[in-house]
Amino acid sequence: MSIVGTGGDETDASEFVVSEQEAGRRLDQFLATALGGELSRSRLQSLIEDGQVRVDETPVLLPKRKVAAGETVRLAVPEPEAPEPVAEDIPLAILYEDEHLVVLDKPAGLVVHPGPGNWTGTLVNALLFHCGDTLSGIGGVKRPGIVHRLDKETSGVMVVAKSDAAHRSLAKQFAAHGQDGKMERAYQAVVWGVPSRPVGTVEASLGRSNSDRTKRQVVKDGRPDARHAVTHFEVLERFGTEGANAALIACVLETGRTHQIRVHMSHIGHPLIGDEVYGAHFRTKSKKLGEVGDVVAAFPRQALHAFRLAFEHPVSGEPMEFETELPDDMQELLEALARLEG
């Protein structure tokens, strides 16, 4: 048996190829072995009977159906039904609000919408309390008003739609990624090392990681899940000496892929300080920073802040621009790095 791959956003899907040794086994038995006991036989039988299993892209509804060598068996496990989010009195830093939209400064540590492990305490729960039933319903009950998102540990400016008309317009602007001249999304990040060029562009397609479906990686353009991604960066400030240095950079997105800045900067050898997903291998560099290294090593998140968001008001057409200062934790990180020699 060999694993072909996994994928899909709405379900947890896995594919397996039947080997010569496994030929002739019942479909439910084959899957039970392939999954290493992760799902019970009775659960697998129910999934098969519900149409969640395909053999060579053909749905198979009989658990006792025998598999043949070379066949590809695909199992899709639907996401469990999630509870509807409830309103929670969570403080929000509102930058602007009218009948069509809300602009806010999201703190690090706040998840945008409910999901596995975070059914409460999210931005959506806070918005339901703040806005009541006025949020746009286009995103569904789990993501009312949500037009875009920031990672849990990324801070910064977000816009939320309160009307369906605003949702449609803002979604169109985000989809254009600023190519229509209406929107700009800019970030500030603190990275390991100093890029060799003061201004540069990273253009590299992103896809799911081969080892972890929650991560992204740079992939070849021909891969089915490859998504074109472009990040422009500029070095704003340099810290330290050669071999023990860091930089504050600004990044402007030309595309908006999951974890784009984090993956792109790691790809060129400058992962974000505090990024345990894409930059954990750089943590040992903090030992070269002397007493400053203790502050850097203790930084609890990826040092990334969405400091600027500009867009066209979805109803009036008025240009709107919002900027926020770096949060306290990133300010303290920069102050520590400023104590480095050089």
Per-residue pLDDT, 104? 97
Per-residue pLDDT, 81? 61
CATH code matching the domain that covers 94-176, chosen among 3.30.2350.10, 2.60.120.280, 3.40.50.720, 3.90.1150.10:
3.30.2350.10
Per-residue pLDDT, 11? 52
Domain layout of the chain by residue ranges: 2-78, 94-176, 185-317
Per-residue pLDDT, 6? 41
Q: Tens-digit pLDDT profile for the chain (342 aa)?
A: 444 444 434 456 789 999 999 999 999 999 999 888 778 888 899 899 889 999 998 999 999 999 999 999 999 987 666 668 889 999 999 999 999 999 999 999 999 988 777 789 999 999 999 998 888 877 777 788 999 999 999 999 999 999 999 999 999 999 887 777 789 999 999 999 999 999 999 999 999 888 887 899 999 998 888 999 999 999 999 998 766 799 999 999 999 899 999 999 999 999 999 999 999 888 888 888 888 888 999 999 999 999 999 999 999 999 999 999 999 999 999 999 998 865
Instruction: Domain 2-78: give its CATH code.
Output: 3.10.290.10
CB atoms within 10 A of CB 250: 16
Output the six-digit token pair for 259: 């974890």
151 is catalytic: yes
* Residue 213: C-alpha distances to residues 36, 143, 247, 267 (Å): 18, 22, 30, 18
Helix or strand run (H / E) with residue 317: none
Per-residue pLDDT, 7? 42
Per-residue pLDDT, 65? 94
Per-residue pLDDT, 84? 83
- Cα–chain center distance at 235: 24
Catalytic residue among 133, 151, 212, 329: 151
Beta bridge partners of 251: 187, 233
What pTM did the predictor assign? 0.75
The answer to whether 94-176 and 185-317 have equal CATH topology is yes
Per-residue pLDDT, 335? 95
Measured distance CA(170)–CA(58) in Å, rounded: 39
Measured distance CA(332)–CA(314) in Å, rounded: 37
- The torsion angle over the Cα atoms of residues 156, 185, 224 and 214, rounded to 10 degrees, is -10
CATH topology for 185-317 is Pseudouridine synthase (3.30.2350)
